[in-house]
Amino acid sequence: MLKQFLPNEHVKSVLDIKPEYLKQKGVKGIITDLDNTLVEWDRPSATPALINWFDEMKQNNILVTIVSNNNEERVKLFADPLQIPFIFRARKPLGPAFKRALNQMGIQKEEAVVIGDQLLTDVLGGNRSGFHTILVVPVAQTDGLATKFNRFVERRILNWFRKKGMLQWED
């Protein structure tokens, strides 16, 4: 049952996910979370390194859609300057927003990866909808109020995986 929360891969940062690697896996599009995945939850806009990451994806014809549970104001302010399409109030772990993102990008599920920093929304949602999921270490140690309880539960699940040797994670 807990396997629903196990990501296919885990990396330290989105910046570690390279276009060459994705292309080699046949990936044409990225569905990514925003808060604490791309930037700190309270940072309004992208860092230079992240802007560079988006450019690299674009140069390699890998599409990116931001799918966030946060509100329109937050997501739009971040995504518009980058000209990255986005879906706000996505209600992850529910599936419809992922499907919408796929439709917008015009790709199949098998050609996409779901990236995020939370087991209870990003990983669970991606897994349940049948995506390849990649967990990243949260950019910040702090969270918005809505995420605090999820983190409490998440920590227990991560510890269980760790004990079973299913997930190596350095704190």
Residue 129's nearest CA partner among 171, 170, 100, 88 is 100
Per the structure block, which two tokens stand in for 167?
Answer: 């997930």
Nearer to Mg ion among residue 35 and residue 111 (C-beta): 35
Nearer to Mg ion among residue 111 and residue 117 (C-beta): 117
> What's the first-to-final CA gap in the chain, in angstroms?
25
Residue 82's nearest CA partner among 109, 133, 112, 45 is 45
Q: Please identify which residue in 17, 64, 117, 127 interacts with Mg ion, judged by CB under 5 A.
A: 117
Question: Exposed (0-12), middle (13-18) or buried (19+): which is 13, by Cβ within 10 Å?
Answer: middle
Per rule CB under 5 A, count of chain residues that contact Mg ion: 5
Q: Does 143 bind Mg ion (CB under 5 A)?
A: no
Nearer to Mg ion among residue 2 and residue 140 (C-beta): 140
Minimum distance, C-beta of residue 68 to Mg ion, in the bound complex (Å): 8
Q: Does 33 bind Mg ion (CB under 5 A)?
A: yes
Binding segment (CB under 5 A) for Mg ion, from list 14-22, 57-65, 74-82, 110-118? 110-118
Residue 145 to residue 11: CA distance in whole angstroms: 25
Q: Please identify which residue in 32, 35, 97, 154 interacts with Mg ion, judged by CB under 5 A.
A: 35
Binding segment (CB under 5 A) for Mg ion, from list 9-17, 55-63, 109-117, 160-168? 109-117
Q: Please identify which residue in 32, 36, 70, 133 interacts with Mg ion, judged by CB under 5 A.
A: 36
Nearer to Mg ion among residue 33 and residue 154 (C-beta): 33
The count of other CB atoms within 10 Å of the CB of residue 62 is 20
Task: Label residues 111-129 b or e (16+ Cβ within 10 Å = b).
Answer: bbbbbbbbbbbbbbbbbeb
Minimum distance, C-beta of residue 16 to Mg ion, in the bound complex (Å): 17
- Give me the residues that bind Mg ion (CB under 5 A), please: 33, 35-37, 117
